[in-house]
Structure 1
Amino acid sequence: MSRPARRLVVERPGEFRLVTGERPEPGPGEARVAVHAAGICASDRELFDGTRPADYVRYPVVPGHEWSGTVEAVGAGVDPALLGRGTVAEGFRACQRCDRCRAGEQTLCTAGYAETGFTEPGAFADHLVVPARLLHPLAPEVDLTSAALLEPAAVVAAAVLRGAPRAAERIAVLGCGTLGLLAVQLLSAFSPVELLAVDPRSRPLTLAAGMGATAAVTPGQLDYEAAGFDLVVETAGAPGTAADACRLARRGGRVVLTGVPEPGARGLDPVLLVVNQLTVANVFGAPPAAWSYAVHAFNHGLLRPEKLISHQLPLESFGEAMRLVGSGDPGVGKVLLRP
Structure 2
Amino acid sequence: MAQTQDTVEFPPVPSALPPTMRAAVLFGPGNLRVVDRDVPRPGPDEVLVRVATCGACGTDLKILDGHFPQIPPYGQFTPGHEWTGTVVDVGATVDEFAVGDHVCIEAHRGCGRCDNCVVGRYTACLNYNNRAKGHRATGMTADGGFAEYAVHHVSALYRMPEGLTPEDAVLITTAGTSLYGLDHLGGYIAGDSVVIYGPGAVGIMAAQVCRALGAGTVILVGTRQSRLDRARELGIEHVINSRETDPIEAIKAILGPEGADLTIDASGAQPVPQLCVEGTKRGGSILFLAFYHDKVEFDLSAAIRKDITLHTSRGEGGNNVRRAVSLAAQGALHCKELVTHRFSLEEIGEAFHVIRDRIGDPMKVVITP
Provide closer, same or farther for how the CA distance between residues 120 and 336 of structure 1 changes in structure 2, counting only shifts above 3 A: same
Q: Does 1:255 align with 2:276?
A: no
How do residues 196-215 of structure 1 correspond to structure 2 at under 5 angstroms? 196-215=219-238
Aligned partner of residue 149 in structure 1, secondary structure: helix
Name 2:264's counterpart in structure 1: 233
Gaps of 5+ in 1: none
Hey, what's the Cα distance between the residues in 1 that align with 2:189 and 2:142?
38
The total of aligned residue pairs comes to: 337
**CA RMSD for the aligned pairs?**
1.8
Name 2:13's counterpart in structure 1: none
Name 1:24's counterpart in structure 2: 40
Hey, what's the Cα distance between the residues in 1 that align with 2:71 and 2:22?
24
Contact 2:109/2:155, CA 8 A, preserved across alignment: no
Of the candidates 252, 260, 270, which is equivalent to residue 300 of structure 2? 270
Hey, what's the Cα distance between the residues in 2 that align with 1:2 and 1:56?
28
Gaps of 5+ in 2: 1-15, 130-135
Contact 2:207/2:220, CA 8 A, preserved across alignment: yes
Contact 1:189/1:302, CA 8 A, preserved across alignment: yes
Name 1:173's counterpart in structure 2: 196
Deviation (angstroms), 1:56 = 5.4
Name 2:212's counterpart in structure 1: 189
Contact 1:30/1:132, CA 8 A, preserved across alignment: yes
**Which amino acid letter does the alignment assign opposite residue 335 of structure 1?**
V
Hey, what's the Cα distance between the residues in 1 that align with 2:181 and 2:146?
27
Hey, what's the Cα distance between the residues in 2 that align with 1:195 and 1:43?
26
Deviation (angstroms), 1:295 = 1.6
**Which amino acid letter does the alignment assign opposite residue 356 of structure 2?**
G
Contact 2:81/2:138, CA 8 A, preserved across alignment: yes
**Which amino acid letter does the alignment assign opposite residue 202 of structure 1?**
Q
Hey, what's the Cα distance between the residues in 1 that align with 2:213 and 2:318?
22
- CA deviation vs aligned residue, 1:106-160 (integer Å, no higher than 9, x gap): 1221112441001200000000011112111111221122212222221111123
How do residues 94-173 of structure 1 correspond to structure 2 at under 5 angstroms? 94-113=110-129, 114-163=136-185, 164-173=187-196
Contact 2:258/2:281, CA 8 A, preserved across alignment: yes
Contact 1:13/1:49, CA 8 A, preserved across alignment: yes
Aligned partner of residue 60 in structure 2, secondary structure: helix
Deviation (angstroms), 1:274 = 1.5
Contact 2:338/2:363, CA 8 A, preserved across alignment: yes
Provide closer, same or farther for how the CA distance between residues 254 and 80 of structure 1 changes in structure 2, counting only shifts above 3 A: closer
Deviation (angstroms), 1:330 = 5.7
Aligned partner of residue 361 in structure 2, secondary structure: coil
**Which amino acid letter does the alignment assign opposite residue 344 of structure 2?**
P
**Which amino acid letter does the alignment assign opposite residue 99 of structure 1?**
D
Q: Which runs of 4+ in 1 moved over 4 A?
A: none
Deviation (angstroms), 1:58 = 4.8
Larger displacement relative to structure 2 (164-173 or 132-141): 164-173
| TM-score, normalised via structure 1 length | 0.94
Hey, what's the Cα distance between the residues in 1 that align with 2:319 and 2:45?
21
Provide closer, same or farther for how the CA distance between residues 236 and 97 of structure 1 changes in structure 2, counting only shifts above 3 A: same
Hey, what's the Cα distance between the residues in 1 that align with 2:200 and 2:215?
21
How do residues 30-45 of structure 1 correspond to structure 2 at under 5 angstroms? 30-45=46-61
Q: Does 1:315 align with 2:338?
A: no
Hey, what's the Cα distance between the residues in 2 that align with 1:175 and 1:21?
38
Aligned partner of residue 120 in structure 1, secondary structure: coil
Contact 1:85/1:140, CA 8 A, preserved across alignment: no
Deviation (angstroms), 1:204 = 1.1
**Which amino acid letter does the alignment assign opposite residue 284 of structure 2?**
G
Hey, what's the Cα distance between the residues in 1 that align with 2:190 and 2:267?
25
Larger displacement relative to structure 2 (76-85 or 91-100): 76-85
Aligned partner of residue 82 in structure 1, secondary structure: coil
- CA deviation vs aligned residue, 1:253-282 (integer Å, no higher than 9, x gap): 11111011122322x322212111111101
Provide closer, same or farther for how the CA distance between residues 227 and 66 of structure 1 changes in structure 2, counting only shifts above 3 A: farther
Name 1:295's counterpart in structure 2: 325
Contact 1:238/1:261, CA 8 A, preserved across alignment: yes
Provide closer, same or farther for how the CA distance between residues 84 and 149 of structure 1 changes in structure 2, counting only shifts above 3 A: same
